Structure 1
Amino acid sequence: MKFIATVRTVSMLSLLFLAGACKDFIDINADPNNPTTPVLELLLPATQVSMAGALRDVNQGTSILMQQLYTSNTSRNFQDGTDYQQSWNGLYTQALNDIEIVIREGTRQQRWDYVSIAKLEKAYIYSLMVDLWGDIPYTEASQGNTVSDPGFETGETIYDKLFVLIDEALADANKGSFAINPTTADIIYKGDKNAWIRMANSLKLKMFNQIRLVQRDKAIAGINALLTANAPLITTNAQDFSFRFGTTETPANRHPWHRSEYQAGKSYYMSQGFMERLFSTDDPRLRYYFYRQTPNYTVGFTPTGNGYFGRYTGDATAAPNDNALKATVGVYPAGGLYDNSPINNLTAANVFVTNAGATSVPKVVTNTDGSGAGVFPFITNAMVKFILAEAALTLGTTGDARQLLQDGIAAHLNSVNTISSTSGNSAPAIPAATITAFVANRAAQYDAADAAGKLGVVMTQKYIALYGNGMEAYNDYRRTGLPALPAPIAPLNTFPLRLTYSVTELSTNAKVSDKADQLQTAQQTTPVFWDK
């Protein structure tokens, strides 16, 4: 791509702040983006840092579309060619480009451990890009600077190639020794071969489930093959495929939501509807997801009067000077503060959200509050459980959907506990008895529902657990239409079925520049290949 050289230089500087999850990576003196000879132990962590950084904007945008965050234009279904340009450019010109170098150099050195990891990162990134954008450059884009105008391929074609790539990566993992050294060169799994094998199989599971509406037989066969073979999947929270952020301001490696919201000026409102969903359903994650800066602030779009002050999706009214009043992100997933202040209008019906032990007073947050040591959950134990439950309900694959639902909810509540109590975060744990009772409560809702309602319970619980990964919530919603979301108050467009392309790509790539406007317009209303 013609703009690679320029963007690579700029984007690497902007993304290095994320590397706090691995201090050893921060402290290297060599530039891993421009080595004289490719150094695998420097390039591999650079790919993981740039992957997390480049996904920031698409994660933000999809979180808004899925009514978990709020900004005015995006919540009104408006998007343009600059909204996700940084994500597109960062993925292609940095993360994927460096991944190709690791694959090429690792193959030359017969370092199949590095090759395997790089191929799995490549498969994960491209699968997400297909999910979000549909048709994208793939084969020619993998050739880096040798092809300035890579051709776009259909999402279905790319998915087929990615299934092959994952199998190649699994085969590579079993060639020779798997010995990443130092282990910190692998920020995510610290060189754990078995962890990457579980990630590979879990990615395949996710992709098979994704295509179930359009390739039902292939989805059933693929999922059943994984289960029949007892292929290792992510089955514990410790095995989650996720990126953990650090705690420091210099270098700035905190969770991006913490960096943007724990300061005087803020980028978002919290979604009023999402806060009310947790409040009205007595969900104990309420105090972990959101932090109130005031105990009682009531305006037209905040009827609860208890400090959970956000904006409803599509609200087009002007924003007053309310940064010190609106609710903000909490300890999960952003590494902010746990809200331990009394909630004004709780009733005796509340079992899981109560004022027991709530002795704090809300405060206006600053960058010294919370640790910022949050998480970007890519594929987790909870997600795998919910995927298996959905597949069991819709495809008849092996598994007890009710038990998988319970396991998924419990796994996520325990993940909230882990993030809340590690790396300088100091929130109290959700008690084990509360987790047990809450899971039983949701299982009872499942039992009371009809067939369609049972899927609704599964997808709603998954949606709540996906806070922090709007991309997967966006995928699920387009595939299932669940959970039911209110229409924007003042929409500017229809709900987007794909994200807009980078305007830079469309204007510089000769293979598409003559039809750029048509392609961009079609993104709003054209389903991705797996969306029926």
Structure 2
Amino acid sequence: MNRIAKIFTLGLITVTGFSSCEKFLDVNTNPNAPGKETISLSAKFPAALVATVNQEQGQINQIGAFWGGYWGTTNQAVNSFVDLKSYNGLAIMHQRDGIPVWETAYNNLYYLELIKKEALDEKALFHAGAAKIMQGWLFLRLVDMYNNIPFDEALRGFDIATPKYEPGKTVYEKAINLITSGIQDIKNHKDGPGISKMGADDVMFKGVPALWYKFANTVKLRALIRQSEAGNQAYIDAEIAKIVAEGSGYLNATENAFIQPGYLNSSGKLNPFWENYYKTVAGKVTVNYAAIRPTTYVINQYSALNDPRLANLYVAVGGTYKGVLFGNPSSSDPQYSQANTSAFKGPAENNNNPAALFKSFSQPSVLMSSFESLFLQAEAAQRGWITGTAQQYYEEAIKQSFKYMEVPAGDFTAYNQQAGVSFTAAAANAKIERIIQQKWLALNSISSIEAWNDYRRLGLPNIPNSLDAPSPTARPLRLMYPETERMTNNEEASKQGNDDITSAKIWWMK
């Protein structure tokens, strides 16, 4: 873990000059000590937000999109994303060629720790509180990926080179407490001479405290929903009561945790999801755009419900939408070729109009959407945890998903009247399944990791397994501790027992 202190760098787009929110630079000046003498709080904080959402929209979303049932690859890309298609945990954890989920998250956590300390020193409690909330987000995400992780000793740098691991359940509780503390810090903030004021440097909520409270509560609600099958109801009830007592509620239909630092039509400065999965600054389609296709399963689910989002998500081939089989190891069947399958739809394929996922190079990055929040509230209401009616939350969530995916609002009524969509038409014991189905359709390629999380929690939806899985019943349940951690803190990592990708579970799973 001390490797973080030695080589710490965001390694991602960072931002400054937030009087206009349009200038980017790399934080290359003494990144091991980014104090006031190098970079101001107003530059470091947006950099931390951008780094966090870049990880979410990049490696995290990509893992979820493959393992959550959304993405597969064409015949021509049979050798692409092999580790994700075959659940090769050893390759994913590899120091050089793996997927550095652990390293990136802890780098971001350490950066937020420096921000938090500087903010507390100057009594900039808004920045300190927001940093705590984002740290809570990252710690929760790490548990979802790895289970037991370091928490108390994790961000001590050279002081503790081999931090102790704590049980995932314990880290969840501490992360939720950290978020609660962040809310209180923001409420206690007072402007004054020499105290940084949150404003334009908040590239998510523009310094609006109420939105930070609602976002924080929604992150906590997601963490509580995650525990629905863990036999932890007394704790859930107590934490829901704290959210109710705080009083701000959750992100509603008009409130999204979108991050907009001022993307530019310049290499490395476009919206990263656009630049990685759609087009380069030169207007050329990316390798990922050519390789990735929707699964036949996701196409079939939209088609079965006459879902109008389908036409905005993908390009029709010969008048129909055609997907691929996840993990298909064969490149011989022409129906799964690049030419015969549906690519993502963007403005170039949509008469220069915004499409479901790709709207423009400057579209904001999604950290958490209003529709995810509403689906969480629908499930919580259906379980009797919160007030309000599950049906209302559910229907509003679909409406907001339609809005995001550029579907006319008038299409909702006919869609919702279908027996396979209507909340009232679902049997009493199938309403949670109905919520999860629509949540899955809404989060496609946006917050795909939540599809994998719901599948691990509930086994829903009934996502087909990879054809390249190590066995017909093997499913990815977690990530293995990375090689970088094994090299520097193996004694502690080894104490956690089995971390096999297809057999070791996260604490909140069934």
In 2: Cα distance, 1:35 partner to 1:18 partner: 14
In 2: Cα distance, 1:383 partner to 1:471 partner: 12
For 1:27-426, list aligned pairs within 5 A.
Answer: 31=29, 33=31, 34-35=33-34, 37=36, 39-55=40-56, 56-70=58-72, 71-80=81-90, 81-82=93-94, 85-93=99-107, 95-177=108-190, 181=197, 183-214=199-230, 215-227=232-244, 230-237=247-254, 239-244=255-260, 246-256=263-273, 258-262=275-279, 263=285, 265-266=287-288, 267-292=291-316, 295-296=317-318, 306=319, 308-318=321-331, 322-323=337-338, 326-331=341-346, 337=348, 339=350, 371-395=360-384, 397-417=386-406
| Aligned 8 A contact 2:253 2:374 in 1 | no
| Aligned 8 A contact 1:385 1:408 in 2 | yes
Residues 351-407 of structure 1: CA deviation (Å, up to 9, x unaligned):
xxxxxxx9xxxxxxxxxx963344543332212221122123234542311222111
- Go from structure 1 to structure 2 and tell me whether the alpha carbon gap of 1:128 and 1:42 turns closer, same or farther (over 3 Å shift): same
In 2: Cα distance, 1:190 partner to 1:285 partner: 30
More deviation, 252-261/125-134: 252-261
3-state DSSP of counterpart to 1:184: coil
| Aligned 8 A contact 1:136 1:153 in 2 | yes
Structure-1 residue corresponding to 2:77 = none
Give the C-alpha shift of residue 64 in structure 1. Answer: 0.4
3-state DSSP of counterpart to 1:377: strand
Give the C-alpha shift of residue 153 in structure 1. Answer: 1.2
| Aligned 8 A contact 2:163 2:492 in 1 | no
| Aligned 8 A contact 1:287 1:338 in 2 | no
In 1: Cα distance, 2:338 partner to 2:259 partner: 28
- Go from structure 1 to structure 2 and tell me whether the alpha carbon gap of 1:216 and 1:200 turns closer, same or farther (over 3 Å shift): same
Aligned to 2:24, which of 23, 26, 32?
A: 26
Residues 169-203 of structure 1: CA deviation (Å, up to 9, x unaligned):
11111123368657331111121111111111111
In 1: Cα distance, 2:430 partner to 2:198 partner: 49
Within the alignment, does 1:432 sit opposite 2:447 as a pair? no
Aligned to 2:467, which of 489, 493, 497?
A: 489
Q: Which amino acid aligns with 1:141?
A: A
3-state DSSP of counterpart to 1:99: helix
Give the C-alpha shift of residue 489 in structure 1. Answer: 3.0
- Go from structure 1 to structure 2 and tell me whether the alpha carbon gap of 1:203 and 1:219 turns closer, same or farther (over 3 Å shift): same
| Aligned 8 A contact 1:17 1:252 in 2 | no
In 2: Cα distance, 1:433 partner to 1:17 partner: 40
- Go from structure 1 to structure 2 and tell me whether the alpha carbon gap of 1:490 and 1:23 turns closer, same or farther (over 3 Å shift): same
Question: For structure 1, which runs of at least 5 residues remain unmatched after alignment?
Answer: 297-305, 342-357, 359-368, 418-429
Q: Which amino acid aligns with 1:65?
A: W
Residues 295-327 of structure 1: CA deviation (Å, up to 9, x unaligned):
33xxxxxxxxx4634321231113889556543
Structure-2 residue corresponding to 1:349 = none
| Aligned 8 A contact 1:8 1:90 in 2 | no
In 2: Cα distance, 1:17 partner to 1:410 partner: 33
3-state DSSP of counterpart to 1:203: helix
In 1: Cα distance, 2:52 partner to 2:239 partner: 27
Give the C-alpha shift of residue 41 in structure 1. Answer: 0.9
| Aligned 8 A contact 1:85 1:504 in 2 | no
3-state DSSP of counterpart to 1:318: coil
Aligned to 1:474, which of 427, 435, 452?
A: 452
In 1: Cα distance, 2:241 partner to 2:315 partner: 42
In 1: Cα distance, 2:508 partner to 2:493 partner: 26
Give the C-alpha shift of residue 409 in structure 1. Answer: 0.8
| Aligned 8 A contact 2:83 2:89 in 1 | yes
Give the C-alpha shift of residue 26 in structure 1. Answer: 0.8
Residue-pair matches, total: 472
| Aligned 8 A contact 2:125 2:186 in 1 | yes
| Aligned 8 A contact 1:32 1:42 in 2 | no
- Go from structure 1 to structure 2 and tell me whether the alpha carbon gap of 1:5 and 1:161 turns closer, same or farther (over 3 Å shift): closer
Structure-2 residue corresponding to 1:503 = 483
- Which structure has more RCO (C-alpha within 8 Å, separation ≥ 6)? 2
In 1: Cα distance, 2:272 partner to 2:364 partner: 7
* Percent identity between the two aligned chains: 22
In 2: Cα distance, 1:18 partner to 1:495 partner: 39
More deviation, 167-176/249-258: 249-258
| Aligned 8 A contact 1:77 1:492 in 2 | yes
- Using structure 1 for the length normalisation, give the TM-score: 0.80
| Aligned 8 A contact 1:287 1:340 in 2 | no
| Aligned 8 A contact 1:102 1:115 in 2 | yes
| Aligned 8 A contact 2:53 2:366 in 1 | no
- Go from structure 1 to structure 2 and tell me whether the alpha carbon gap of 1:338 and 1:235 turns closer, same or farther (over 3 Å shift): farther
Residues 144-168 of structure 1: CA deviation (Å, up to 9, x unaligned):
3432222221111111112221221
In 1: Cα distance, 2:397 partner to 2:508 partner: 24
Residues 64-89 of structure 1: CA deviation (Å, up to 9, x unaligned):
00111124442343333137642221
In 2: Cα distance, 1:400 partner to 1:513 partner: 44
3-state DSSP of counterpart to 2:491: coil
Structure 1 vs Structure 2 CA RMSD: 3.2
| Aligned 8 A contact 2:210 2:248 in 1 | no
- Go from structure 1 to structure 2 and tell me whether the alpha carbon gap of 1:230 and 1:172 turns closer, same or farther (over 3 Å shift): closer
Residues 218-266 of structure 1: CA deviation (Å, up to 9, x unaligned):
22343355347643311133x2123347352324322335434432633
| Aligned 8 A contact 1:72 1:316 in 2 | no
- Go from structure 1 to structure 2 and tell me whether the alpha carbon gap of 1:96 and 1:225 turns closer, same or farther (over 3 Å shift): closer
In 2: Cα distance, 1:84 partner to 1:19 partner: 31
Q: Which amino acid aligns with 1:53?
A: N
Give the C-alpha shift of residue 112 in structure 1. Answer: 0.3
